[in-house]
């Protein structure tokens, strides 16, 4: 039979146990922060009717969405983000859930774009949303969650860029730009960090708008938030001023939040405050982003629940933590390996193994008796902390020898005290 090459698609990745241990560690820290603020988890389907997903992100977003016909000739799409599937879930279940509804969701999503640094075709997002309220307290709480997540993960130089889609629309109206062109211009402004000012101006001019240069000049942030507010004082800034006031009262560090009028999240569904989280120590784009959406649920039901949320880009967070050496040494699950000296010692080794399992100690037993050096190598490769050695002499004396794989030191422990020894060591 012809061998199949064990390749994977570009933009997807395999994760071996050591890498998965790191990923689960980071996910767990993020999850604990979400739950600390009262968010409950949900899950939504991976395969969706195409009409659920398509048409919510704009033309460019639709082009990046995986869609196909299944064997029943149904049009299917894979989620491009978790916000649209969440809005659909709320529309289907709003009668049975408490409002406002606070949820978190950690799942894979897919984007059919060219893979590059910080961009994959298959990746995890860690989302939080609050739906069923228009209160700016919700936006403020999400900003607080953002600061706590990145503080918990060890990031230092984090900036939360803040803007309002309402402000952008007001600025464009002041330039006498037809309302139907707003979203196309906003999509161009959203490319500012990627393609630069000149190319964005060119893109705006291609839309028939001559004031691209003046628009970008007005939207360029000043050195301080107060200077930026002053620059735009002729516009209605009440929403943003109230948000910044709440942030101050919720003890969100002022230096972490930057009012950036040029921030233009390109997805069509944003209507109010928008966020984008950047690290001054990294060079691969936003680590977290999102904003207020007023009309998304109304696409799926007669009720119209306003929501606000952000997505933490898990893959970029992992890349950032690797780059900045923020990940501690993380062992795999097994803490103890029970060796088997030879076939005559199997029964006694089983007794030790049962004792450790009954005590709730993550353990495994050697599957190939004999050759202790081979068993030590196995423990070393798996980063198992201890090896329990039980040979004929130890069995006769009612003890075991415990070898620390970190220090190489060995210690005799009475068999009846073994579980207590490990519990004391591993919980301290």
What pLDDT score was predicted for residue 273? 96
CB 76 within 8 A of CB 82: no
What pLDDT score was predicted for residue 362? 94
Structure tokens at 284: 């691969």
Q: Would strands 399-404 and 75-77 be described as parallel, antiparallel, or unpaired?
A: unpaired
What pLDDT score was predicted for residue 427? 66
Angle between helices 212-219 and 165-174 (to 10 degrees): 140
Q: How many Cα atoms are found within 13 Å in the side-chain-facing hemisphere of 235?
A: 24
What's the pLDDT tens digit per position in 288-330? 999 999 988 888 988 889 999 999 999 999 999 999 999 988 8
What pLDDT score was predicted for residue 428? 58
In terms of Cα–Cα distance, which of 275, 296, 298 is closest to 287? 275
How many residues are there in the chain?
A: 428
CB 261 within 8 A of CB 171: yes
CB 401 within 8 A of CB 410: yes
CATH superfamily, with its number, for domain 17-323 = Bira Bifunctional Protein; Domain 2 (3.30.930.10)
Element (H, E) at 424: helix 418-427
What pLDDT score was predicted for residue 166? 93
Question: What whole-number distance in Å separates Cα of residue 183 and Cα of residue 201?
Answer: 15
Question: What whole-number distance in Å separates Cα of residue 239 and Cα of residue 401?
Answer: 67
Strand order in the sheet with 399-404: 363-365, 336-338, 386-389, 399-404, 410-414
CB 27 within 8 A of CB 104: no
Domain range 336-427, CATH class: alpha beta
Helix (H, G, I), strand (E, B) or coil at 391: coil
pTM assigned to the model? 0.90
Positions in the chain whose pLDDT score sits under 70: 427-428
Write down the domain spans for the chain: 17-323, 336-427
Structure tokens at 38: 């009262």
DSSP 193-216: HHH-HHHHHHHHHHTT-S-HHHHH
Structure tokens at 173: 């109206």
Beta-bridge partner residues of 101: 131
CB 207 within 8 A of CB 184: yes
Question: What whole-number distance in Å separates Cα of residue 263 and Cα of residue 279?
Answer: 15
């Amino acid at each position: 039979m012809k061998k199949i090459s064990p390749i994977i698609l570009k933009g997807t990745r395999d994760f071996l146990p050591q890498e998965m241990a790191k990923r689960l560690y980071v996910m767990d820290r993020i999850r604990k922060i979400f739950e600390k603020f009262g968010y409950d988890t949900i899950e939504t389907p991976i395969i969706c009717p195409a009409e659920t997903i398509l048409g919510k992100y704009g033309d460019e977003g639709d082009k990046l969405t995986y869609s196909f016909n299944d064997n029943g000739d149904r049009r299917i799409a894979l989620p491009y983000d978790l916000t649209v599937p969440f809005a659909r879930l709320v529309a289907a279940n709003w009668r049975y859930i408490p409002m406002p509804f606070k949820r978190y969701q950690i799942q894979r999503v897919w984007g059919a774009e060219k893979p590059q640094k910080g961009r994959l075709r298959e990746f995890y997002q860690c989302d939080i949303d609050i739906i069923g309220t228009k209160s700016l307290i919700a936006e403020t709480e999400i900003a607080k969650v953002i600061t706590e997540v990145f503080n918990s993960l060890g990031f230092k130089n984090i900036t939360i860029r803040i803007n309002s889609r309402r402000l952008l629309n007001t600025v464009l109206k002041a330039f006498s730009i037809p309302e139907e062109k707003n979203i196309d211009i906003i999509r161009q402004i959203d490319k500012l960090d990627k393609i630069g000012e000149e190319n964005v101006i060119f893109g705006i001019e291609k839309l028939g708008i001559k004031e691209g240069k003046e628009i970008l000049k007005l939207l360029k942030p000043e050195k301080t938030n107060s200077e930026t507010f002053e620059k735009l004082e002729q516009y209605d800034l009440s929403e943003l001023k109230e948000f910044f006031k709440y942030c101050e009262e919720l003890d969100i560090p002022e230096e972490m939040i930057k009012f950036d009028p040029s921030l233009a999240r390109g997805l069509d569904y944003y209507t109010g405050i928008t966020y984008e989280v950047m690290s001054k120590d990294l060079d691969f784009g936003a680590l977290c982003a999102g904003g207020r959406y007023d009309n998304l649920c109304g696409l799926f039901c007669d009720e119209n629940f306003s929501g606000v949320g952000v997505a933490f880009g898990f893959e970029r967070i992992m890349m950032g933590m690797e780059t900045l050496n923020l990940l501690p040494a993380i062992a795999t699950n097994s803490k103890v390996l029970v060796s088997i000296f030879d076939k005559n010692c199997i029964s006694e080794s089983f007794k030790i193994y049962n004792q450790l399992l009954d005590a709730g100690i993550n353990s495994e037993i050697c599957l190939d008796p004999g050759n202790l050096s081979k068993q030590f190598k196995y423990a070393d490769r798996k980063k198992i902390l201890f090896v329990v050695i039980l040979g004929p002499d130890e069995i006769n004396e009612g003890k075991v020898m415990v070898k620390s794989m970190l220090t190489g030191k060995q210690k005799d422990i009475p068999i009846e005290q073994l579980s207590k020894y490990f519990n004391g060591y591993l919980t301290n």
